[in-house]
Structure 1
């Protein structure tokens, strides 16, 4: 059985590893796409919007609703990717807790 000092050292080591993984995730770009890739958005892993790109085919002043829908679709796609990567990265630490 681990003593308290060993547990603290292991917890500190895991904290440093976790912080490193969080920083790596924050530096990663995630690109979400709408149907037919008419709208693409890029976020950082810490959910900061970097860019939104529209293909000419989706820009129609008579049909703003489609542009709005496709923008939301692309944003949600990127955010889902970030959530999945976060769960995968951070979930790996849950099984390593010393207590």
Structure 2
């Protein structure tokens, strides 16, 4: 439904470029096979307890894990920088194609 709506928006605004990239497939692969990517922690985030802290609840007073590169998630909802890099690399060909066209 989202892709159809984006196509309609593109038709309504022909001078714009609207792109859709499904990054969830890449993230799901990392979540389901963390060891294939070198992660040791997928069930909680690096920030605080890793179960409920999100956004501003992760701050200078919140304890952090010792090595965020081993965690799939930074907080209870957001991937770590390393996870984002994997998602980006997995979708890079699509991104490059969008940029070139």
TM over 0.5: same fold? no
TM-score by length of 1: 0.36
RCO comparison, higher one (Cα < 8 Å, 6+): 1
Higher strand share: 1
Which structure: greater helix fraction? 1
Structure of greater Rg = 1
